[in-house]
Amino acid sequence: MTLPAVGSEPVHPARTILAVITVGRSTSGAAIIEICRVLHQRGHTIHLACLEGQQSILGAHSFISKVTAVGRSVSPDEDAQIRKLRSESDFETAKGRANQMVAFRIMMSWWPETFENLKELCTRERPDFIFSEALADASVDVAELLNIPLAVRYPQLPSIPQSYIPGMAGFALKHLTSEHASLWDRMQEELHRVKMLFAARHFAIERRRLNLAAGIKPRMPSPKPNYLIFVNHFFGLEVPRHLPPLVHPVGPVLAEEYKQIPEGGRVAEFLKTHHRVMLIAFGTHVVTPSWRIYRLIQGVNAAIKEGLLDGVIWGLKSRDDLDGSIKPPFPTGQEDILDAFLDYEHILSNGDPNWLVEPWVEQRAILEHPSTGLFLTHCGTGSCMESAYHGVSVLAMPFFGDQPANGKRLVTAGVAVELHKDRFTARSTLAAVASIMRDDAALFARNTLRLRRIAHVNSQRKELAARLIEEVMYDHELRFEDVSTEATPKQGDGSASSGMPGKEIRPMHLQTCDMRMGWWKRTNWDMWLLFPAFLPFLLSKSLF
């Protein structure tokens, strides 16, 4: 088998990239879409695999040339169940951890059909690269089965063992690093790791069962996966650490353009007449019970009365999730009532001129507006990136998943105060707003500006992500012998191999060699165990 002369081959051949976004849906897939936009600008063809019902939303981008459904849609009942379980989850209690894992097991129920349909799609069309969200777990299995290079977008850096990162990275109870953690704190974090692994046992068993039923070998967790991992974060917010060559923080990945506030609309008029505004938005997946709404209103309204704020814009997706049977005063006692005569319905129905409640708001445009001084958020990755990029201090109220870790990152960066979603009170809300808005030492303003500048510098790293995909893709397609001469690159046209790759000629160029070595050799235990026996001989050779 003879390859064409090197000089006749294009240096930057166009390829086909398959983006896969399933149960994570549009919010989780936003970073993937943006990086795919860059790949398209660099000449590549973008295809998309998603669930039924997502085609019109995810496929609305003009650079996506083909959209294929690889799984059934998420029903309203399933969506409500997942949202409720995740909103009621936490990592501090056994019940909270169990709720999170039950939600993951429901999402895992899409794996069999997604795996089979994605395998059939990739076998038929043979994309040159797969770019997937972390929740589309079947993508990793299909890529490994068909030997297609892969990148996965993670919500936070994976748990790569580091001696200075206590417990399970991304799921810390208290400390993100060991720097300011006591010995007791570090022991508690390690115990928490065991609790997290125990909570995940049923999920791991179910995943193994599905893998075996599909006829594939279950994957074991690896500290250094053999595929690209992108994280929509940046150092300055994320904790700096040593990373393998295949793991890259590429955030903040944000669209160059975003929806502006409609002129003459209620939001635009509100921002014209209010100049110390707080934006409240809990994303699309958080279920907010009525007691939390009422308690927030008590605290925030007190902040307005004290002149800390003069307006609130609340993006409240739906009031269907509010439990109207829970009325103030609350079971926790009168300490949550700062104004016994506060009319909640009057505020939620936009009867108060200092409050504007909308089912959907132009979040980035509001954060960019000079009247916005504070952002109360659930700490989803997208919201964290947007608050950092647009330079707004944060009142953090994380709920599930990576959100608690994001809340700690914002606090550590000096741009946020955190409120516990279940233990906060109206008074603690008022105190948190006061500490940020008064900012007596100007530290919040200083750190918010510092983080904004860092975020802007890093905001073009989606270009790096696109180039890394090309790097791994080009390396992969020439690391293997082709099964037949029909499958070899054709002279001058830049087309990739259309068949299954054959024998591996050389290892992956970004993979560290320890991942191809046995445990004994990788850790040098073979040398250290045998060293005493050879020590006399070695000494004699060196001395005489």
Buried b (16+ CB within 10 A) or exposed e, 374-405: bbbbbbbbbbbbbbbbbbbbbbbbbbbbbbbb
Q: Within 10 A of 514 (CB to CB), how many other CB atoms are there?
A: 14
Give per-residue pLDDT as tens, 215-238.
998 888 787 889 999 999 999 999
User: Per the domain annotation, does 171 fall within a domain?
Assistant: no
Report pLDDT for 5: 61
Domain co-membership, 388 together with 333:
yes
Mean pLDDT calculated for residue range 226-251 = 94
Three-state secondary-structure class, residue 432: helix
Give per-residue pLDDT as tens, 21-35.
998 766 778 999 999
The pLDDT of residue 525 is above 90: no
C-alpha–C-alpha distance, residues 180 and 208, integer Å:
38
Q: What is the dihedral of CA 248, 251, 253, 256, to 10 degrees?
A: -130
Q: Across the chain, what does the average pLDDT equal?
A: 88
The pLDDT of residue 493 is above 50: no
Report pLDDT for 59: 66
- CA separation (Å) from 492 to 8, 397, 399, 478, 489? 6, 56, 53, 16, 9
Report pLDDT for 514: 86
User: Per the domain annotation, does 355 fall within a domain?
Assistant: yes
Q: What is the dihedral of CA 452, 455, 456, 459, to 10 degrees?
A: -160
Domain co-membership, 124 together with 43:
yes
The pLDDT of residue 492 is above 70: no
C-alpha–C-alpha distance, residues 539 and 56, integer Å:
73
C-alpha–C-alpha distance, residues 419 and 394, integer Å:
11
User: Per the domain annotation, does 228 fall within a domain?
Assistant: yes
CATH number at residue 142: 3.40.50.2000
Domain boundary among the residues 416, 439, 457 is at 457
Cβ–Cβ under 8 Å, residues 404 and 168: no
- Residue 519, domain extent: 508-537
Give per-residue pLDDT as tens, 431-465.
999 999 999 999 999 999 999 999 999 999 999 99
Report pLDDT for 4: 57
Domain co-membership, 316 together with 297:
yes
User: Per the domain annotation, does 426 fall within a domain?
Assistant: yes
- How many helices (DSSP H) and strands (DSSP E) are in the chain? 19, 15
User: Per the domain annotation, does 194 fall within a domain?
Assistant: no
Domain boundary among the residues 397, 429, 457 is at 457
Give per-residue pLDDT as tens, 54-106.
887 776 789 999 999 999 999 989 888 988 888 888 888 999 999 999 999 99
User: Per the domain annotation, does 22 fall within a domain?
Assistant: yes
Domain co-membership, 123 together with 247:
yes
Domain co-membership, 294 together with 243:
no
Mean pLDDT calculated for residue range 192-202 = 92
The pLDDT of residue 392 is above 50: yes
Q: What is the token pair recorded at 412? A: 């550590």
User: Per the domain annotation, does 377 fall within a domain?
Assistant: yes
Domain co-membership, 437 together with 487:
no
The pLDDT of residue 263 is above 90: yes
Domain co-membership, 440 together with 468:
no
Domain co-membership, 273 together with 421:
yes
Report pLDDT for 125: 94
Domain co-membership, 234 together with 342:
no
Phi, psi of 151 (to 5 degrees): -130, 140
Element (H, E) at 375: strand 372-377
Domain co-membership, 433 together with 497:
no
Phi, psi of 112 (to 5 degrees): -55, -50
User: Per the domain annotation, does 204 fall within a domain?
Assistant: no
| Cα angle 174, 178, 182; round to 5 | 75
Residues facing residue 129 across a β-bridge: 17
C-alpha–C-alpha distance, residues 187 and 167, integer Å:
8
- In eight-state DSSP terms, residue 281 is E
Report pLDDT for 319: 57
Domain co-membership, 316 together with 238:
no
Three-state secondary-structure class, residue 15: coil
- Angle at which helix 94-108 crosses helix 201-213, to 10 degrees, equals 10
- Angle at which helix 94-108 crosses helix 183-199, to 10 degrees, equals 40
| Count of structural domains, the chain | 3
Domain co-membership, 435 together with 322:
yes
The pLDDT of residue 240 is above 80: yes
Report pLDDT for 335: 52
- In eight-state DSSP terms, residue 235 is B
C-alpha–C-alpha distance, residues 356 and 353, integer Å:
7
DSSP of 77-118: HHHHHHHHHHHT--SSSHHHHHHHHHHHHHHHTTHHHHHHHH
The pLDDT of residue 299 is above 80: yes
Cβ–Cβ under 8 Å, residues 344 and 293: yes
| Cα angle 312, 314, 316; round to 5 | 165
Amino acid letter for position 509 = H
